[in-house]
Structure 1
Amino acid sequence: MAIDFKNFNINNAYSLEGQTAIVTGGSTGLGLAITRCLISAGAKVIVLSFETPEQAAEALAEFGEQAVFYQFDITNTDHTQEMVDKIIADHGQISILINNAGNHCKKYIWDMSVEDYVKVLNVHLVGAFALTKALVPHMKTFNYGNIVFMASMTSYIGQPQVSGYSTAKAGYLGLIHTLTAECAEFGIRVNAIAPGWIDTPMFHKATDHDSTRLSKIMGRIPAKRVGDPMDVGMCAAFLCSEAARYITGACIPVDGGALIGF
């Protein structure tokens, strides 16, 4: 559809007013920043997490009725469709899905069991696939939807001790390409974000007592600083808005230039 330049207001292009999103892992870390940005843009956010309702309530209190929590383990794929159907029955049209839930297993491959590896894949790839599969037919009925996967630097570069994580994150790239080819004609856009090193508790856990690792990371980032979680949240809100209406099948690095850093 052509843009009506006479009546164009760029603020409207970035608005998510009236839309409802599902964000997995949306009450902590990067997920909480995504929740905050989507709500700021006007959306209502359904947060899915294995956290207890009490834990989530504290994190989401600032958003009032704009954030609704459902306790759910996305690896419980036998019940994914049931959960999605309940959310749709409770809240109506769901036009945004952010696949953000994840876990880590920091081990070298010679120390990692097959069970460790499969557990990581089940959260990142299998759980996200099941949730996406459950929602796409719903989005098709409205000829509209936006799906975003949370990729990683490890989608592109080698890092030690994260073979399961890197497999899953690289797998997202193939998945968004295939889903784009399948879903674009139905008005459903599928993209990914690849965060670099972001100022989160996980980052501090990995670097606060490892000056060598921190120095190596900072030496790779042309921007000479780590990112803020809101940098990722704002990118997610953009990708789900009409301002990005012709962007699909893309993975956007939010990394201060780390992927091309020397």
Structure 2
Amino acid sequence: MNIPQFGLKGKTALITGGGSGIGFGIAKAYTEAGARVIIIGRTESQLKEAVAILGSNASYYVFDITEQSKIKDLINRIVDNQGPIHILVNNAGIHLKAPASKTTDDAFLSVIQTHLLSAFTLSREVMESMKRYDIKGSIIMISSMTGIMAMTQVVAYTSAKTAMLGLMRGLLADYAEDGIRVNSIAPGWIKSKMLHQALDKDAERKNKILNRIPFKEFGKPEDIGNAAIYLGSDASSYVNGVLLPVDGGAAVGF
């Protein structure tokens, strides 16, 4: 059954970190829902491989989102070449697993810059572009379960992902009158390279997490992609400022 309001036909989506993991899962779901997808990342070979899989409705730009002074020019170039952006998914990120006592100031700042500061600049420039073209767009923040619950050894990541929720609320307050929505997704533990890096050598932590999830299994990137379709589509036109956990019940599991 085709329900148009749940589709993305006619929409252009920009996805940061769309070449792998959750970002690629979102990009794949978006192309299947009819969107034209633009992915950005730092590694061209990875982006090229992703676009080859995604098909003719996908393209890429090689870009390091921590270069904030260049973001405005990037967005202008994308809009000039591809047309107005309807959806921005702030997904790109880095992980740092270390106790607070071993987390240096520079390492902490690097995580904050990648997740939070870059997401702010990207969102601001995309939302200003949406205003110019009278686009009633959607901004989606990919937060984390660490934005909901306390976890050991991820103080920088927790701080960044929790702050993204404050960024969501601040942007919502400033742009709601323009018809631009801002929502967040909190992925649970999703099968990805980042998850493997965090857990493959830490069986105790892995088992602790699995025991917390009522389903007793990790999620898939497409689980986040399907949630992102909803938040990017007209079906969620009155949904604004929501944090949607996609976690298999981990946030409420006993």
TM range (shorter): over 0.9
Q: In the aligned structure 2, how far is the partner of 1:240 from the partner of 1:63?
A: 18
Q: Which residue is 1:186 aligned to?
A: 178
Q: Which residue is 2:106 aligned to?
A: 115
Q: In the aligned structure 1, how far is the partner of 2:173 from the partner of 2:247?
A: 27
Structure 1 runs of 4+ with >6 Å offset = none
Contact 2:86 2:135 in 1 (8 A): no
Q: In the aligned structure 1, how far is the partner of 2:92 from the partner of 2:18?
A: 8
Q: Which residue is 1:5 aligned to?
A: none
Match of 2:73 among 52, 67, 82: 82
Correspondence 1:162 to 2:154: yes
Deviations 1:137-161 (A, max 9, x none): 1111314100000000000111122
Correspondence 1:50 to 2:50: no
Please tell me the residue identity of whatever aligns with 2:46.
Q
Contact 2:11 2:87 in 1 (8 A): yes
**1:261/1:114 Cα in 2 relative to 1: closer, same or farther (>3 Å)?**
same
How many aligned positions are there?
A: 253
Deviations 1:120-145 (A, max 9, x none): 11100001101111111111131410
- The secondary structure found in structure 2 opposite 1:260 is coil
Contact 2:88 2:140 in 1 (8 A): yes
Match of 2:118 among 111, 124, 127: 127
Instruction: Note the C-alpha offset of 1:170.
Output: 0.3
- The secondary structure found in structure 2 opposite 1:21 is strand
**1:196/1:170 Cα in 2 relative to 1: closer, same or farther (>3 Å)?**
same
Q: Which residue is 1:259 aligned to?
A: 251
Q: Which residue is 1:231 aligned to?
A: 223
Correspondence 1:69 to 2:60: yes
Deviations 1:92-112 (A, max 9, x none): 111100000000122112111
Ranges in structure 2 where 5+ consecutive residues have no aligned partner: none
Instruction: Note the C-alpha offset of 1:172.
Output: 1.0
Please tell me the residue identity of whatever aligns with 1:234.
N
Please tell me the residue identity of whatever aligns with 1:39.
T
- The secondary structure found in structure 2 opposite 1:222 is coil
- The secondary structure found in structure 1 opposite 2:97 is coil
Q: Give the TM-score taking structure 2 as reference length.
A: 0.96
Q: In the aligned structure 1, how far is the partner of 2:104 from the partner of 2:153?
A: 12
Q: Which residue is 1:97 aligned to?
A: 88
Please tell me the residue identity of whatever aligns with 2:91.
N
Ranges in structure 1 where 5+ consecutive residues have no aligned partner: 1-8
- The secondary structure found in structure 1 opposite 2:167 is helix
CA RMSD in angstroms comes to 1.3
Identity of aligned residues (%): 41
Q: Give the TM-score taking structure 1 as reference length.
A: 0.93
Q: Which residue is 1:34 aligned to?
A: 26
Q: In the aligned structure 1, how far is the partner of 2:101 from the partner of 2:166?
A: 27
Q: Which residue is 2:212 aligned to?
A: 220
Deviations 1:43-102 (A, max 9, x none): 0111110112x2211122022221111000011011110000000000111110000000
Q: In the aligned structure 1, how far is the partner of 2:106 from the partner of 2:199?
A: 27
Q: In the aligned structure 1, how far is the partner of 2:135 from the partner of 2:57?
A: 24
Q: Which residue is 1:200 aligned to?
A: 192
Q: Which residue is 2:50 aligned to?
A: 59
Q: Which residue is 2:203 aligned to?
A: 211
Q: In the aligned structure 2, how far is the partner of 1:20 from the partner of 1:131?
A: 15
